[in-house]
């Protein structure tokens, strides 16, 4: 593991903020590392859409890079020549952030990475599960930070349909969902059709606590502007049509 250290940009937050990057062929390794770091209290940012336009990263990615304490690159020959990984690292360095090249070989490598991320602060024990389960059925998901509301039917086969409303516009939703009980994470891969232009929406939510039937959740990803959500079970399936 190589730590190309620039410490002037560290935020000093009790929970360190790390931006993860990897080449396309190393994304499975990144996903595992993502989960393991979050279990140990690390806040994570990623470039989910992986878009580089004329050498320029998307604005939300730039914001997360500016908000992170360090960028960790899953290192390989592919990563060394990947334009997106290079852009993440060069941008982070220009912001004065630490950049760490992580090539996992054994458990000791991961423990070294944790110590590099936490610095002099103690590394917490793995997060204890909250015991929350998301089951198939109708769910209303409300974003507490933006005018977004999803009314979804989560089918047992992993498909989902419903309606999404944002800023007075409502569109039909199709997509898929997955709840990983061991990590207590709800992954939603959605497309919202408003007019003639379907828009993708990907959410990875981590339930934090239950308040009666209402479940409170947070973004598993996002450093500059993380969102909070509430999930409430509905009364039954919504008809397939009805979008406007």
pLDDT tens, 45-81? Answer: 999 999 999 999 999 999 999 999 999 999 999 999 9
d(C-alpha 96, C-alpha 186), whole Å = 34
In tens, the pLDDT along 133-180 reads: 999 999 999 999 888 999 999 999 999 999 999 877 889 999 999 999
d(C-alpha 220, C-alpha 185), whole Å = 8
Beta-strand relationship, 43-46 and 56-57: unpaired
Q: Of residues 168 and 92, which shows the higher confidence score?
A: 92
Contact (Cβ atoms closer than 8 angstroms) between residue 4 and residue 73: no
Average pLDDT in the chain: 90
Contact (Cβ atoms closer than 8 angstroms) between residue 231 and residue 134: yes
Q: What's residue 129's pLDDT?
A: 84
Q: What's residue 104's pLDDT?
A: 86
Q: What's residue 4's pLDDT?
A: 54
Q: What's residue 14's pLDDT?
A: 66
Domains and CATH numbers, the chain: 2-118 (3.40.50.10140), 137-233 (2.40.128.20)
pTM for this prediction: 0.84
| Residue 6 pLDDT exceeds 60 | no
Q: What's residue 8's pLDDT?
A: 37
d(C-alpha 158, C-alpha 188), whole Å = 10
Contact (Cβ atoms closer than 8 angstroms) between residue 235 and residue 138: yes
Q: What's residue 135's pLDDT?
A: 95
Q: What are phi and psi of 219, to 5 degrees?
A: -60, 130
| Residue 192 pLDDT exceeds 60 | yes
Q: Of residues 25 and 145, which shows the higher confidence score?
A: 25
Q: What's residue 242's pLDDT?
A: 42
């Amino acid at each position: 593991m190589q730590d190309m250290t620039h410490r002037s940009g560290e935020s000093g937050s009790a929970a360190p903020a790390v931006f993860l990057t990897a080449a396309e062929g190393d994304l499975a390794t990144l996903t595992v590392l993502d989960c393991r770091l979050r279990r140990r209290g690390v806040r994570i940012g990623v470039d989910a859409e992986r878009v580089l336009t004329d050498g320029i990263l998307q604005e939300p990615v730039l914001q997360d890079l500016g908000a992170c304490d360090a960028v960790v690159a899953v290192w390989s020959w592919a990563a060394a020549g990947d334009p997106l990984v290079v852009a993440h690292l060069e941008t982070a360095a220009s912001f004065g952030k630490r950049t760490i090249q992580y090539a996992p070989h054994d458990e000791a490598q991961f423990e070294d990475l944790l110590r590099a991320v936490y610095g002099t602060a103690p590394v917490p024990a793995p997060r204890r599960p909250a015991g929350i389960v998301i089951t198939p059925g109708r769910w209303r998901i409300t974003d507490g930070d933006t005018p977004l509301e999803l009314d979804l039917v989560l089918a047992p086969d992993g498909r989902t349909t419903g309606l999404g409303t944002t800023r007075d516009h409502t569109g039909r939703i199709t997509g898929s969902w997955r709840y990983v009980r061991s990590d207590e994470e709800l992954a939603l891969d959605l497309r919202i059709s408003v007019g003639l232009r379907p828009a993708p929406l990907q959410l990875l939510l981590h339930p934090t606590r239950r308040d009666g039937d209402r479940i409170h959740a947070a973004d598993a990803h996002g450093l500059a502007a993380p969102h909070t959500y509430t999930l409430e079970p509905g009364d039954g399936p919504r008809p397939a049509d009805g979008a406007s």
